[in-house]
Structure 1
Amino acid sequence: MVWHPMRAAAVCGAMLLALICPLWTGPARAETAGREPATVKLSATQQSQIGLQTAVLAAESHPEQFRAYGTVLDVARLTELANSYANAQAQLQTAQAKLDVAKLAFERARDLVQSAAMPRKDAEAAEGTFRTDQAALAAAESQVKTLMATARQEWGAVIGRGIIERSPQVVQLIEREQLLVQVTLPPGVMLAEPPRSALAQAPTRSANIELRYLSPATRTDPRIQGVSYYFVAAGDSGLLPGMNTIAYVPSGKSYEGVFVEDTAIVQWQGRAWVYLRAGPETFKRHPIRTDQPISDDDYVVQDIPPGSEIVMRGAQVLLSEEAKSELRGGGDDD
């Protein structure tokens, strides 16, 4: 579970508010038993006043996902290579055209020399021009081949071929209609097949951003040292070159669990918890594992008892009330 400063402030604020000025009339009780989580008791009126909402969620099959690390790449180098290759191709065509003309002139001069209609020195000059243009063509061909190899080495076979062919995919990347995102898996994580898609998050948007698989990456992120892939995202997705993002990559496996939104999850003593209804007016904190994220704060949880009624709204207030009751209990012991 990612710990956000604003969420931390909200927790502390809610606890302080509960200690100083309760939001509803009538005291709520938290009954403790040893080290077990307290049972928080709220009347129906109190539940209504804080907007408490609960739901019974059934376990469903969900795709297993790895939390990965994304970086939006600057494609200036890709643009430079595409332009250099286009220029080299133009130079190659020019060199080929000049060589064709020089070859015809040389062959004509050679025939004229043989018929004594042209001095030998003029034929030698034509041959020199022909040989020079041959060398120029060879140099142009070498430049094109070098740029082709460079494109493949730097960007891989798929993007490298796109640079050479000026494919629509590469044009969209150059024109920023699409963004190139390098997604790196955690160290030691391997996939049997490349993922066809992934999800990412941008600071400017609350919804997940769809990523479409493009090709294996030619290098890893040096900070992470995991297997990397290239994905593309829409240019208007909210991502920007140089931006880092959390990505969620499907492993190809699935598992059963209950989808739990972040509003139902509270953090306490270094663990994640949800509140389950224990009775019409009672609620009890239940520990959960958050090792299967769906997004930055939403999870699929496997350790919630079937048929449990989960507090979806108001969990933070219950935690504050529980903390307040524990502090009161500690004060009574003094």
Structure 2
Amino acid sequence: MEAERERPLKAPLRVSIDGDGQPVVTLTAATRKLSGVVVIKPKATQHQEQIRAYGTVLDLDKLVALDNSYVTAVAQLQSVQARIVASKAALERAQTLSKDNITTLAQLQTAEATFAADQAGVATAEAQVRTLKATALQEWGTVIGKALVDGSPLVSRLIERQTFLLQITLPPGASASPPPSATVQFGASATPHQVEFLSPATQTDPKIQGLSFYYSADAASNLLPGMNVLAFLPSGAPIDAIEVPRSAVVWWTGRAWVYLRTGADTFTRLEIHTDAPTPEGGFIVSIKNLPQAVPELVAQGAQMLLSEEFRTQIQVGEDNK
């Protein structure tokens, strides 16, 4: 009898197994109040699904060099075009004077040679301009390449770093129409910045091998060439979801879980996705991943319920020795 009195008391088992083989924790209202367990009905919301992609702020040295080459080539073309106007006029005068025997044959031949040389110069300059124009379109696409050819303010802003150019690449196998705007983030705790779609990229990121797009970011974003960023691209129509507060989430085996109320005093653990965090540290969870549209969940004390599950497993293991 003495030994029986000194034997450690076991806490009552509060965990059972439901028909699906899932553990169910039972806590009466009195126990919940004593343990500080708080049950809430989370806020319903609309959530825009997003594709997580990867971005790089591009170094525009090649664009700057190409722009300089194109501007120089256009200036050279204009110069030889001005020269050929003068040499053509000189040739026509020499031909007229030659008919009247006023000029010599040597002077006529000199005017013809000058005009022929200017013609060759124009052809060469035009070929150089065409080559650089094709290079701009091939390397930078129809939007940025055409902006370079037309002398658009877009290229000036990129060169002067008033605007930064990002290449955003989708994960391999993912496909989506590029949205007009997206958000990028440098580091998990950094402030997200909005970027605007420019055009499809002319080549993919070799490290990722997915569809790529060009986006522009304002200089106020504090992005710098060479930075790697996370990008979030809106996809599809908004979906119905709930906001799960940070205090309701428990972590186990590297995954996030919440406890849902399944009865007056019963609770079941459910894994949630963490791909849509909130600024407060919680998560947006689609209702399609929930057993009911807006379930009640444990907002305070979820860790206590998780501990109860493990304590029960330990007791059962000891009893089976």
Instruction: Report the TM-score, using the length of structure 1 for normalisation.
Output: 0.75
1:155 is displaced (CA, Å) by 0.7
Instruction: Call closer, same or farther: CA 1:294–1:282 in 2, change over 3 Å.
Output: same
1:110 is displaced (CA, Å) by 1.8
Q: Which residue of 2 aligns with 1:308?
A: 295
Per-residue CA shift, 1:88-131, capped at 9, x if unaligned?
11111111111111111121122222222221111211211111
Q: Secondary structure at the match of 2:168?
A: strand
Check conservation: 1:81, 1:147, Cα contact below 8 A: yes
Q: Which residue of 2 aligns with 1:131?
A: 116
Q: Which residue of 1 aligns with 2:213?
A: 229
Q: Which residue of 2 aligns with 1:156?
A: 141
Name the CA distance, whole Å, in 1 between partners of 2:213 and 2:133: 21
Check conservation: 1:60, 1:257, Cα contact below 8 A: yes
- Report 1:28-107 matches (<5 A): 31-33=14-16, 36=23, 47=36, 56-107=41-92
- Report 1:210-289 matches (<5 A): 210-260=194-244, 264-276=248-260, 285-289=269-273
Instruction: Call closer, same or farther: CA 1:261–1:174 in 2, change over 3 Å.
Output: farther
Name the CA distance, whole Å, in 2 between partners of 1:30 and 1:174: 69
Check conservation: 2:23, 2:268, Cα contact below 8 A: no
- Report 1:199-218 matches (<5 A): 199-203=183-187, 206-218=190-202
Q: Give me the CA root mean square deviation.
A: 3.5
Percent of aligned positions that are identical:
41
| 1:194 to 2:178 alignment | yes
Name the CA distance, whole Å, in 2 between partners of 1:97 and 1:146: 21
Gaps of 5+ in 1: 1-27
Check conservation: 1:70, 1:181, Cα contact below 8 A: yes
Check conservation: 1:217, 1:229, Cα contact below 8 A: yes
Name the CA distance, whole Å, in 2 between partners of 1:67 and 1:210: 14
1:168 is displaced (CA, Å) by 1.6
Name the CA distance, whole Å, in 2 between partners of 1:147 and 1:80: 11
Check conservation: 1:180, 1:232, Cα contact below 8 A: yes
Name the CA distance, whole Å, in 2 between partners of 1:227 and 1:175: 28
1:287 is displaced (CA, Å) by 1.7
Instruction: Call closer, same or farther: CA 1:328–1:308 in 2, change over 3 Å.
Output: closer
**AA of the residue aligned to 2:120:** A
Instruction: Call closer, same or farther: CA 1:255–1:79 in 2, change over 3 Å.
Output: same
Per-residue CA shift, 1:10-56, capped at 9, x if unaligned?
xxxxxxxxxxxxxxxxxx99944466275689866875xxxx98753
Q: Give 1 or 2 for the bigger CA radius of gyration.
A: 2
2:105 to 92, 102, 120: 120
1:301 is displaced (CA, Å) by 2.9
Number of equivalences: 298
Q: Which residue of 2 aligns with 1:179?
A: 164
Q: Secondary structure at the match of 1:212?
A: strand
Check conservation: 2:23, 2:309, Cα contact below 8 A: no
Name the CA distance, whole Å, in 2 between partners of 1:86 and 1:96: 15
Check conservation: 2:239, 2:286, Cα contact below 8 A: no
The range that moved more, 31-40 or 61-70, is: 31-40
1:196 is displaced (CA, Å) by 1.4
The range that moved more, 318-327 or 79-88, is: 318-327
Name the CA distance, whole Å, in 1 between partners of 2:158 and 2:225: 11
Name the CA distance, whole Å, in 2 between partners of 1:174 and 1:110: 50
Name the CA distance, whole Å, in 1 between partners of 2:117 and 2:238: 65
Instruction: Call closer, same or farther: CA 1:175–1:311 in 2, change over 3 Å.
Output: farther
Instruction: Call closer, same or farther: CA 1:200–1:217 in 2, change over 3 Å.
Output: same
1:68 is displaced (CA, Å) by 1.5
Per-residue CA shift, 1:192-227, capped at 9, x if unaligned?
x43212121112863322121111111111122221
Gaps of 5+ in 2: 1-10
Instruction: Call closer, same or farther: CA 1:196–1:55 in 2, change over 3 Å.
Output: farther
